[in-house]
Amino acid sequence: MQPYLPDLPDLIGLAGLFIVLVMFVAIGALVAGRQAPEANLVAGWGLTAIVLTVWGVLTPTTMRIPLAGLVLVALAGLALPAVRRWDGMGRMAVLTLPFWLVMLPAWPSQVDTWLNLLPNAAYLFDHDMLPRQDRPPAWSFIPVAPYNTQFVAYAASVVAGRLIPNAMALFNLALLAAAGLLLARVLAGREKGTPPWWAIACGLGLAIALNPGFVPRTFLAGYGETPLAVCAVFAVWLAADALRDMAQWRAPRAGVALALVLAALVNVKQSGIGLLLPIGVSFLALAVTHPAIPWRRGAAIAAAILAPSILLWLVWRGYALTSFEAGELRPRPFSSWNFALLPTILGSALRTIVQKATFYLCLIAVIVGAVLTWRRAPRSWEATVLALIVGTAALYNGFLFFTYIAHFPPEMARNAHSYFRYSGHLSLLVMLGLTIWLRPWAEQAVARLGARARVAAGAAIVLALAFPVAIAPMLRFDLQVPQPTVFALGPRIAAHLPSDARLALLVPGDPFDATGSLVRGTLLFLEPRRPGLDVRTVNRADAETLSAAHRDGYGFALITCTPPNLGPDIPPGVAALLRRETVGWSLVDSWAWPADLSGQRFGALLEHSAFCARR
């Protein structure tokens, strides 16, 4: 039970994140107008990302200055009654309380978190600026990956006064709750005001439990899948509102909010541009073809709404290409594009579609619903939303196949690498489309229940509260072996290391640095932190590697699995911390791994051999 109980640092971290979320809502309400508070939250995040990105690109001066300015603006805004509109957010907070209790103590998990996401967030907190080739070294595999979610972790950590390692994962939970509140408004038929309890419970279920694209280890890790999916659903919702206003010759009230949501989306991760363009093109197409909107006016308004996100992407792209020699991940040379593999890629994608049929059948249902709704009531708000979803889904799939041809190496392309994971970016759009299309039938079914409808509403609330508790082991994928053992071992290792120690980390059988990044990150980013360590990671452990580390001035060596005959006082088959003495390496401490690791399935791509275990 202990791993599921939050401690004081967890609560302090939550308080820091809560203050940042309130700041986003207040800033969004000030700038984006009278939108629903959950839309203001995403819009406020988008504005914060613009400010911190531009500041960080233009100057190395501490980012705490613009962050403090944003906090002051938010505090001033909270004095206005119109800004203090929390319609439904309080009820959603109550219904998601079990989720927060389960996820609050979660450790960072999954390989990309340790390789780049958490190192990038820690860099911001430690240095208050973006990384560059001529600045302090970064521990990230991709130091110039987009930073929009890391900005959230940075802001929350600054407010809390300590690095919050799981801030991005908790932010993803908050975003899923925001999407659930949006779906609740659709169910209840109320764009304004507070949806009833039953609607919020059902909306939360649609966003998480019933969402066929929801995978806990990606949607509730610090990954960008949840931010992309949530930004996409809010962008389509706001785009439909903007088109409705434009058709009535009104300035689109949702225009500013939409522009900021798209700005939040585009720099979640490098592939964000691949989701921005399908949404933008679908929005533009509906604007210029609408019979009630002059095409020049529609094109001008759409271009103005898309401009901030495109400019932000260009600013960051330029920074990424000039800050490090490697820059971001780049397309392959045209001569190496995988055109010949296209049939194989399509076959792999088809296998994924068959294996994950529920999600893709739901997407097909949305397409059918869009056609039927458009034929019955063309240009209606419902038809517009569905058309935007279908257009986005079609164009985004085109983008995915383009990346398989132009970007991925052949061995990853032929397997349509992570096709379902990338398709999950559309999952909340699918749930929005199904909700809009099937709502009339759902209303009729509820009406037939009569008095039993109150019982069904109560059951929905109970299920929403019970669901995260019932599947807590699935949500807490950070507890999958051997991660808890490493987390427990980290403080014991750190206790022996000076803050500026030079450490050779020897991780045998770890070709992708998954285990190395976990052990290294545990020391660098988890309490008691040792952010000043100079760590060299090598995927073998032998006397020659130790000699090379000594020649290069490394005074300590941590071996995750010691080989036999390494030294008279160094036991084999354990984790060992060594210190360089004048006559050789001496044992500082050693730790035996649990005997039952062999035969167990490891999470996060961790290697058994690195822990002296067998598959």
pLDDT tens-place string over residues 179-229: 999 999 999 986 778 999 999 999 999 999 999 999 999 999 999 999 999
Residue 272 lies in a domain: no
pLDDT attached to residue 2: 66
More confident residue, 332 or 69: 69
- Total number of domains in the chain: 2
Does pLDDT of 3 surpass 80?
no
Same domain assignment for residues 212 and 85: yes
> What is the reported pLDDT for 566?
86
The pLDDT, as a whole number, for residue 30 is 95
The answer to the question of residue 421 being in a domain is: yes
| Final residue belonging to a domain, choices 428, 447, 474 | 474
Name the token pair of 407. 């970007």
Q: Does residue 148 contact residue 268 with C-beta atoms inside 8 Å? A: yes
3-state secondary structure of 495: coil
Rounded Cα–Cα distance for residues 446 and 202 (Å): 13
Q: Is the pLDDT of residue 548 over 90?
A: yes
Q: Say if 307 falls within a structural domain.
A: no
Residues 458, 487 within the same domain: no
Q: Are 463 and 498 found together in one domain?
A: no
Residue 34 has pLDDT above 90, yes or no: no
Residue 259 lies in a domain: no
**Same domain (yes/no): 55, 150:** yes
Could you give the CA distance from residue 591 to residue 494 in angstroms, rounded to a whole number? 13
**What is the gyration radius of the CA atoms in the chain, in angstroms?**
25
DSSP structure class, residue 290: -
Domain match, 357 and 415 both: yes
Tell me whether residue 324 is in a domain.
Answer: no
Task: Classify residue 107 by its DSSP letter.
Answer: P
- Does residue 151 lie in a domain region? yes
* Assigned token pair, 327: 């820059």
Kindly indicate the confidence band of residue 569, based on its pLDDT and cuts at 50, 70 and 90.
confident
Q: Do 444 and 515 fall within a single domain? A: no
Give the integer Cα–Cα distance in Å for 159 and 152.
11
Model confidence pTM above 0.85: yes
Q: Over the chain, what is the mean pLDDT?
A: 94
Asked whether residue 326 carries a pLDDT value surpassing 80, the answer given is: no
Is the predicted pLDDT of residue 84 greater than 90, yes or no? no
- Is position 313 within any domain? no
Instruction: Report the amino acid identity of residue 188.
Output: A
Last residue of a domain, one of 474, 506, 536: 474
Residue where one domain finishes, among candidates 474, 493, 513: 474
C-alpha distances in Å from residue 34, one per residue of 49, 52, 192, 254: 21, 24, 10, 8
Here the tokens at position 458 are 């109560």
E strands present in 425-517 = 502-506
Please, are residues 81 and 29 in contact by the beta-carbon 8 Å criterion? no
Peptide bond before 195: cis, by omega within 30 degrees of 0? Answer: no
Residues 510 and 463 in one domain: no
Residue-level pLDDT at 568: 81
Domain membership of residue 600 as a residue range: 483-611
Under DSSP, is residue 251 helix (H, G, I), strand (E, B) or coil? coil
Q: Which amino acid is at 369?
A: G
315 occurs within a structural domain? no
Q: Same structural domain for residues 448 and 498? A: no
Dihedral of CA atoms 190, 191, 194, 195 in degrees, nearest 10, equals: 40
Give mean pLDDT, residues 264-289: 97
